[in-house]
Every structure is written in C-alpha cells, then in structure tokens.
C-alpha cells in the first residue's frame, strides 16, 4: 500500500466506525492531507476493494471495511486512546463498595455495558472449597453415587457410571484411598494428586478400585469446570444497534448460545495465551460467527498470575475499538486486584 492508499484506508475505516455508514469519495476528499480529486480517491478505493479490504453494499454506495480490513486496521492503524484520570476515578469509585465476588462481577458487567454502550460478558471464577470427605455408594450395576463433603459443610451428590464389575469392597478401597489424601485439597488439586499417586502405587491398588477412583475424579472435575458462570449485561444495546430483522435474528442466536453456555470454556481459552486485551472480529471466533459480532476481552488473574476469569464486551463489528480497549483492560486489571484483596 502506498502512503495515499494507507491514508484513504485509515480515514475510511475511522469514518465507518464512527457513523456505521458507507463512506464515499467526496467525504474523504475533505479529510485527506493532500488535495486530490474524488476520481483519484475512487481509484484508490477500488484498489483496496481488490485487496479484499473494502466492499460496497450497493453499486452506487460508498465503501465499508471487510472483516479482513477491520483486522488490518486494528492491528496496524488503530490508535488506542488513554483512559483519562477522571474516567479511572469514576470506575474506581463505582467498584470500590463491592466486597462480595458475585456483586463485584455483576457490577463490573453493568459498568462495562454502560460505559461502552455494548453488551458486556464476564466470566466468573469458579470457587472451590477444600474437600473433607468422600464416599462411593452403589445404586445399580451400572450406576453409582459419589458423595462429596467440603470443609465449608457443603454436600454434593453426583451419579456416574462405575467400571464394569465394581464391587462393594472396591468402592470402599477407593474411598479410603481418596480420603487418606483429600484433606485441604480442592477437586482440581485432588485430580492431579490422584494421578500421581495411582502411578506411584499402581501395584498396591486393586484394578477395579483404580478405575473407580479415576472415574469418580473425572466426574467431579468435569462438573466443576461447568460451574463457571457467564454474566451478560446490556443486551438491549446490541438489539438497538441491529439494523434489520436478519441482524436481530443473528443477535438473538448469539444470546441463545450464551444462555445455553455453549463454548463457555472456549470463551476463557480466548484469553489464556497471555496478558492483555484481545480483539476477535466476526467469524474469527466460532461463538460469534453467526451474529457477526466482535468481542473485546481481557483476562483477570489471581495472585499467582494464573488466568481465572475474563471480562469483555460484545458489539457490532464497527465498535470504537480505540476507546473500548483501555476501558476493558483497566476493568479487568481492577477486578483482578480486588479479587486478590
């Protein structure tokens, strides 16, 4: 791209993100640093269209950026604004009174939605209490119950399919094995401990008890992961921005997917490759491919710098990315600091 084509591209995308309307050559002639004719700009726009960066909704209309064009703009042209001191203080003030985790995350979602005029999404961290006691109970040849008692007094009963041929003695042996090491550990920690212990003491364990232990821990681990909670706020902002019945249907599909908690683990995985804000445009992520929406998301971390959740916003692809990125980034950092105490 030449300097002129780069400037035309940047100005066109900035205008589109601000207004949502196709941008014509006459609009750009008033903004370019050099004086060129509308015909010259139309030629540049045509070249950019051939590169796949722009397209035209109608034959006589101006151009809008494609998904590829928006990705190029975000990666190479976007100027991320600073979060002003006044806005930081306002966010700090609104979040400072929240001490309960659920209230803090709900408030963070509402705050993000209000500041960005989009829908916000917050992945709440899964809270795990250390385990106090475990029992296995046979219900039928193909069904068993695991009873999980945590140190805070919570009792969970889960039905699972035991190994074929399990016996009452194998179940007792499995429970004794787990109870000998369970104290003070969460389910997630116990899974790793069990894997190491089974490897080290394989010869000491009856094969059926060994399979039962593995099956039981796998059941708890899977269920524990599904307890992660997705908080969505500001749906009306997306529905208001929908320009057609087709857009409305896509956005409803997006929220149906979120309500059904599809790909929730993937939502957290989006942020797992490191620190900082990430931007996903349209079909770059399958969770949003049907709605054509964009996601701006940032992780928050515990004291060990481990990703435990994420905050973000969903909006149309013509989001004001430069303004929204610092808001999402600061909110994620603030949530992490407050959860760490």
Above 60 in pLDDT, residue 85?
Answer: yes
Q: Which stretches does DSSP call E strand in the chain?
A: 54-55, 64-65, 119-124, 131-140, 143-150, 155-160, 229-233, 278-281, 293-301, 307-316
Within 8 A by CB and 6+ apart from 166, the residues are 138, 144, 208, 211, 212
What is the Cα 189 distance to its own chain's centre?
24
User: What gap in Å lies between CA 95 and CA 55, rounded to an integer?
Assistant: 42
3 state DSSP class of 332: helix
Instruction: Quote the pLDDT of residue 74.
Output: 93
* Token pair 């750009």: residue: 28
3 state DSSP class of 57: coil
From edge to edge, which strands make up the β-sheet containing 131-140?
131-140, 143-150, 155-160
Q: How far is CA 328 from CA 31, 231, 321, in A?
A: 30, 15, 10
Instruction: Quote the pLDDT of residue 294.
Output: 86
Two structure tokens written together for 281:
């445009």
Instruction: Quote the pLDDT of residue 226.
Output: 45
Two structure tokens written together for 108:
């963070």
Q: What is the mean pLDDT of the chain?
A: 80
pLDDT digits (tens, 9 = 90+) for 166-178: 788 888 888 888 8
Instruction: Quote the pLDDT of residue 220.
Output: 59
Q: Which residue would you say has higher pLDDT here, 130 or 42?
A: 42
pLDDT digits (tens, 9 = 90+) for 27-67: 898 888 788 888 999 999 999 999 999 998 876 678 999 99
């Amino acid at each position: 791209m030449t300097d002129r084509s780069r400037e035309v591209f940047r100005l066109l995308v900035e205008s589109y993100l601000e207004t949502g309307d196709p941008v014509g050559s006459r609009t750009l002639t008033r903004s370019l640093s050099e004086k060129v004719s509308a015909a010259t700009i139309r030629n540049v726009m045509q070249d950019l269209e051939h590169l796949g960066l722009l397209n035209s909704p109608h034959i006589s209309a101006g151009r809008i950026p494609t998904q590829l064009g928006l990705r190029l703009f975000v990666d190479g042209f976007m100027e991320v604004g600073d979060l002003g001191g006044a806005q930081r203080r306002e966010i700090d003030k609104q979040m400072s009174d929240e001490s309960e985790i659920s209230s803090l995350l709900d408030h963070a979602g509402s705050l993000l939605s209000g500041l960005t005029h989009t829908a916000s999404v917050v992945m709440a961290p899964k809270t795990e209490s250390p385990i106090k006691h475990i029992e296995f109970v046979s219900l039928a040849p193909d069904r068993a119950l695991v009873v999980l008692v945590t140190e805070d007094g919570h009792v969970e009963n889960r039905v699972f399919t035991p190994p074929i041929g399990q016996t009452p003695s194998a179940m007792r042996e499995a429970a004794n094995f787990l109870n000998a090491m369970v104290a003070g550990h969460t389910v997630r920690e116990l899974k790793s401990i069990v894997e190491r212990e089974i490897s080290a003491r394989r010869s000491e364990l009856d094969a059926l008890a060994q399979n039962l232990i593995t099956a039981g821990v796998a059941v708890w681990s899977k269920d524990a992961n599904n307890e992660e909670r997705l908080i969505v706020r500001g749906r009306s902002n997306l529905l208001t921005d929908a320009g057609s019945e087709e857009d409305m249907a896509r956005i409803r599909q997006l929220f149906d997917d979120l309500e059904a908690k599809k790909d929730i683990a993937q939502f957290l995985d989006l942020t797992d490759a490191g620190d900082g804000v990430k931007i996903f445009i349209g079909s770059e992520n399958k969770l949003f491919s049907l709605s054509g929406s964009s996601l701006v998301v940032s992780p928050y971390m515990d004291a060990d710098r481990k990703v435990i959740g994420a905050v973000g916003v969903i909006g149309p692809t013509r989001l004001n990315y430069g303004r929204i990125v610092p808001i999402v980034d600061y909110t994620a950092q603030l949530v992490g600091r407050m959860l760490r105490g």
